[in-house]
Chains A and B, each alone.
Chain A
Amino acid sequence: MGTTVAVEVFNYRSARAEKARIGTNLTKSWVMVLGVCMVLLLVAGGAFLVIQWPIGWALIGFSVIPAMIVEWKNGELANLAPVKNSTSIDGVLSGDILGLLSHKPTPYEVATIVGQVYGGQFFGARFGIGTGFLQEIASQEAKDIDGLWQEARTIAQQTGSSTLSAVVLLVALVRRHPKYEILLAHLQLSNEDLLQGIAWHNHLKDLIIQQAIPKRTGGVARDWSFGWIPTLSRFGHNLSQGIGNHGLLSVKLEAHEEALEQLIATLGAKGSRNAVLVGPTGVGKTEIIHALAEKLLDAAAAVPADLKFRQIFLLDASALIAAAPGRGELETLIMHLLGEAYSAKNIIICLDNAQLFFEEGLGSVDLSNVLLPILEAGRLRIILTMDEQRYLQISGRNAQLTNALSRINVAAASRAETIKVMQDQLITFEFRHDVTYMYQALSEAYRLSERYIHDLAMPGRALKLLEAAAGYAEGGLVTAHSVQQAIEKTMDVKVGVASGDAEREKLLNLETLIHARMINQTRAVAVVSDALRRARAGVRNQNRPIGTFLFLGPTGVGKTELAKALAEVYFGGEDRIIRLDMNEYVSSDDVSRLIADGADDSTSLTARVMKQPFSVILLDEIEKAHPNVLTTFLQLLDEGILRDVKNREVSFRDAIIIATSNAGADRIREQIERGLDIEQFEGQFIDELISTNQFRPEFLNRFDEIVMFRPLKKDELIQVVDLMLADVNKTLALQKVSVKVSDEAKVYLVDSGYDPRLGARPMRRVVQRAVENTVAKQMLSGTVEPGSTIEISLEEVQKILGNKLAADAISADLTLQR
């Protein structure tokens, strides 16, 4: 490493080291043997005394020795306390490691021991860092051990670990490797993740200790002075009772802690003592209520005496509405419930999803008139929970109601907090699904849920994905790949790096596959293919769309066709295109149509992308859109994010965005006709687009590439005719008939169908009419047998199309339609 390390003292013969070795020697089997010995000595001693042999006293006396050893093992040796302010490393090493160390340990020896004990196995299962890996990276030189102890001490300090446990030593072993960051990157981990792992391990140990400590919850007479609550017990859910019986397994979040303190302050205050927890769904509002219930029941917790041992009853709006469906019944029931709670004097009422009590509609009822006087009087403590939107709606409708409530905002959890919540929830998930989660799965669940799950806030959205991933466990292990599969299957996106041979092959040959259905425009095809390859190799910027392209050029040169080809070849079908004709977005009001809520307008851009994030977004004829619409697209193109009307972030980071424009098409044609190559006038052309105010520079700058499509040459158009004929043959395959057109006829078709203003577009109709009409006539006349090939000559085409004028008429017809 090149750095000087202080010499750490390791005293193999210290009292603590000796105790550690005794503890390690006393395995479970030995403890069992000692137990049996004790019983045998007691029984034999008793039996001897019965037959009047005094030796029985000695046996009974000696029976306490195995019992004392077992007591010592459980009381001290199983969990050796560290020596305070120890300068010697044996004073702070955890007992399970210390008991196995030799006189002159090496890092390799430590690595092997770490892999044998619980902490090492924890990291092996959760992080994929097993004994083999540790042995590979650990030095076998005894002189390197001081550096390891130093590193371990630093890590213990960073993580607040009281001993140098197996997990601390494991991380120290990894960090002692000169290229540890590269090693960790292979495991999709970072130094920070390892420190999180130590915290996780320590937290689990603390939980086990806490669970063993009996809780003081007020005792048998706690509720005797309070009222009888038969109706509340029937219709409400007593949170305190459940917590009193089983305890609450939860992590204390900073985001929640603040809200909890505010809640206690509000409920413990004089005057109005009602609070409303406002935050998006999934943020943990109900969890805060549970935490409050637990805190109030804890005799040792610092809460106002007036609140101590109060019980929280959760009233579920939908259950109450279902229980009292008749007119006026619900009001009566609510009044009865609240009256009972008031009389009992030790109840706090919680109305979960309280918006259902304040709005008219299916499955809800407006109880403002009933609840408002009670809330204003402030004699009964009531907590409401609702989301921000509903709170604002109710506030707008009935300001008196919200004035009677103290608002407490519940913020979404941060990444670190969400990971902690997930770690706690894993205990339940693992038991429920019989799986083991790796840490990488947690990180991936956070990352992917943040991007793809929009209807919940953190930590709810990450938990939802994490639980879904259990269904994709491999060999009982939930990995980052399981989480990717869960999101890929539920959201129909591709989030992992391309791994299958078929997909890799497809990506490497993307240009060839696209060219199978479109001619030339090689630069456009190349830039789009490169963008996809970057995305699927995992080397693109994850905070932008896969690619953003502006295709410029005259009509009928393949701009839209390329988007369709891409959608079919890679995205799984032409239906993966989300196509917006921008000439429908010509007024500033049209912005609202782009970002409308899916419930109101399922065709809005944000709603469609939420439903299908992995897609090609085609913004056709972008130059026709209103400037405000283009401004809306700026953030989308830059960060891959668009906020919908409900202020939800909709991710476009799995989409390819293709905007097409005919702006300056005549200019392109003119320059090409003058014999210039596109590359020669590209820069000048884009400047002209800006100077003529067709596009603003900040808009054009947002695109990864601006690609100019040039008009097709005659030989290319013949290839286009071939593609069109291939399409016709595909249709005729059902009839077991195929068509072959002579080369002269193809040239004639190109001459007849090509229009410099409309590109290749009219040619398709000309080809269809010429070929399909011929085939139809021949099939009806019975001259075509199944399996035969219809050969179409120049004369036949001329006969069908009549002359060039007829073809022009078709073109003109098409022009009018456009």
Chain B
Amino acid sequence: MERRGTRLALAAWTGLVILFLWFPLALIMVYAFNKSNVQSWPIPGFTTKWFRVAWSSPDVRSALWLSVRVALVATGAALALGSMAAFAVARFSFFGREAVSFLLVLPIALPGIVTGMALNSFFIAGHISVSMWTIVIGHATFCVVIVYNNVLARLRRSSTSLIEASHDLGADGWQTFRFVIWPVLSTALIAGGLLAFALSFDEVVVTFFTAGAQNTLPLLILGYIRLGQQLPVVNAIASAMILLTVIPVALAQRLMRDTGVLRRTAANVTEAVESAQVTAV
């Protein structure tokens, strides 16, 4: 094994990099309690006022509500479409199967700006006016992939002989689904759904191109930051959002015990890049 000095040096380096990753996140939590509305360091005193201000602001509320609705609808659509597509690709072989699976993962391999612009020109060309539904469509493009990949991975690992055995033992289609397929799939669906929700809730690059006058929460924050307005409110929302996104992901991670949801998403990206490669050649 490595010598003691090397190991200590590596451990120290690891500690520093982890600190580098987490220090800013901790810092925003401190800023959220900043008494002054000037964002300088060190902060002059503590207050919890900004959380109240943020919560009672009508702009923040309507943006939050829109974000929640968009994320819920996009996640719902992704669960339905993604899991059906995964079933089709995993269980049947049909003409164009590779193409379908490639098209499904493409949106996360493309730079967000390309997806956003493509959707934007599509909406203009089709004379579709932007609304909550165009935002949902934009988000669904990448949410479907997340669910699809999670379900597909689960289906590939579970063997079809389980279903055959269930049929041999006299179960009808519904019973097989209820007692064999569902227990295998449910955690993959929940984990995929949580991730899709978190991604949608946070999305800004594609949303910019598909939203009209209405603001999702990230768009509202982007606007505040650009104009330098309401920065204390941004700090408060940011702290709340960090906690809110970390919790579902930690939950999803638990549900995906064997592979780990985080590893899974990395694998999603990998798969997308691979498929992009296949067609590029």
- Same complex: no
Q: Which residues of A contact B (CB under 8 A)?
A: none
